[in-house]
Amino acid sequence: MINRKIAPPVNSVSIPDFLMPQKYTLSNGANVWYYNAPVSDISRISVIFHAGTIYESQKLQAFFTYQLLKQGSIQKSSQQVAELLDFYGSYTEMEVMKDFCCFTIYNLNKYAQEILQMVAELIESPGFYETDFEVYRKKQKQRFLVNMEKVSGMARNQFPSLLFGKDHPYGGETNYTDYDAIQLNDIKQFYNDAIKEKPFTVLVSGAVNNHLVEVIDNTLGKIKISALLKEISSDVFNVSDYKPKKNYLPKKEALQNAILIGVPLFNRKHPDYFPLMVANTLLGGYFGSRLMSNIREDKGYTYGIGSALATYKNNGYFIISTEVGSDVCADALKEIYIEIEKLCSRKVPEKELNVVKSYMLGDLLRDMDGPFALSDRFKNMYINNLPDTYYPNFAEAIKNVNSDEILRVSQRYLTVENLTELVVGKK
């Protein structure tokens, strides 16, 4: 009989070399990267646009443009697009981020011609109908009001401004008035400036056969590309004027308080990114982390708490996030800072570090399981302009990092005095 009081042994994990996708070029010059796994007749096709929200001249401009772009074209109304997707068993996703946007289509290859022809029309000649715009704006306004009733929504809306500043491309917060300020002409302007005839990249995974290759070229390959996207000066991403601060947003009726603690940092290319990732995982990056063990398991202040290193193409930030009962908020903050102080003042025990290493290597291995997962990892590399050796280097860094290095990066970047704190809720 299994003795469940004894944890299973921790074994070392071997990470294979990262499998790079194959590549070809469409008639219009757009690059296609693909992973071929002909297990079924399903493919996932992502069109990556290189203009994210950092290119918008006013709040919500990029988000509204991309979301409305997939709703209808000059050739097809939003209802016709929805019916076509439903008829052929396809569906779409639109991921609008700071540095990029990814328009993804899941479909059966036998219907690829019909679906991708529609997608090409949406990209090259979007309808941007007034009715669709007003309906979408109304829904988003309502969603915003609902989110602003939640302490977590209020916190996440304001926190980027505290880290980067209100005028920084990665900072700023959204207000209800922004939804009234955005107009259909603003949507069309962003499309003309950042999407129309601009370069894009296609990422395909699944059953990539000769038929699909031909269909992609006959549809997405016919989209006109004639102008380069204007580069944004790297100077605007500077955060040298950052000063740590403590902010409190009152919400008297709240039963729980949201806590966000963080600091602006760097992107994935920084030499300290890998060891800091290990330090982050140790502190709050997985279920067995120190923050979870203390704040949830021992004290019972929350259902969940975690930390992360979030990265953009030009910057990044460290963040701790949780929600706790309003009556234990001060105690929870005290315990969070105790754990940070420990990380910055004591070497991590070898046994604990080895557990974290095994977890991270196993997680990295799971992230490479299957064509869709590989495609997601490659997209991350491509968007952030990372080298082909990024994941093998990451695995080696995890294996080789020691307690001295963990202590060094923690003391350099995660000291309590350098952290910004935001609490939303009831005192």
Give the pLDDT confidence of 333-356 residue by residue, as tens digits: 999 999 999 999 999 999 999 999
Fold category of 242-425 in CATH: Cytochrome Bc1 Complex; Chain A, domain 1 (3.30.830)
Which residue ranges make up each domain of the chain?
A: 22-235, 242-425
Name beta bridge partners: 424: 249, 258
Structure token digits, residue 385 = 């302009």
- CB–CB of 379/102 below 8 Å? yes
Can you tell me the distance from the alpha carbon of 250 to that of 142, in angstroms, rounded to the nearest whole number?
A: 22
pLDDT, residue 11, reads 67
Low-confidence ranges of the chain (pLDDT < 70): 10-13
| DSSP helix/strand/coil, 254 | coil
Name the amino acid, one letter, at 174.
T
pLDDT, residue 122, reads 98
pLDDT, residue 241, reads 86
> What pLDDT digit, counting tens, does each position of 182-208 carry?
999 999 999 999 999 999 999 999 999
Helix (H) or strand (E) holding 31: strand 31-36
Can you tell me the distance from the alpha carbon of 313 to that of 198, in angstroms, rounded to the nearest whole number?
A: 19
Half-sphere exposure of 77 (CA within 13 A, CB side): 5
* Alpha carbon distances (Å) from 10 to 45, 228, 395: 38, 51, 17
Can you tell me the distance from the alpha carbon of 331 to that of 324, in angstroms, rounded to the nearest whole number?
A: 10
pLDDT, residue 10, reads 63
Structure token digits, residue 333 = 């903050």
- CB–CB of 37/209 below 8 Å? no
pLDDT, residue 17, reads 80
pLDDT, residue 256, reads 96
Does 22-235 match 242-425 in CATH topology?
yes
- CB–CB of 42/176 below 8 Å? no
pLDDT, residue 186, reads 98
pLDDT, residue 92, reads 95
The strands making up 305-311's β-sheet, listed across from edge to edge, are 246-250, 420-425, 256-264, 316-325, 305-311
DSSP 202-234: EEEEE---HHHHHHHHHHGGGS----PPPPPPG
Q: Parallel, antiparallel, or unpaired: how do β-strands 305-311 and 316-325 relate?
A: antiparallel
What's the chain's length in residues?
A: 427
Half-sphere exposure of 298 (CA within 13 A, CB side): 13
pLDDT, residue 427, reads 83
Fold category of 22-235 in CATH: Cytochrome Bc1 Complex; Chain A, domain 1 (3.30.830)
Can you tell me the distance from the alpha carbon of 219 to that of 113, in angstroms, rounded to the nearest whole number?
A: 8
- CB–CB of 35/371 below 8 Å? yes
- CB–CB of 239/166 below 8 Å? no
Which of 192, 78, 195, 61 lies closest to 131 in space, CA to CA? 78
pLDDT, residue 211, reads 93
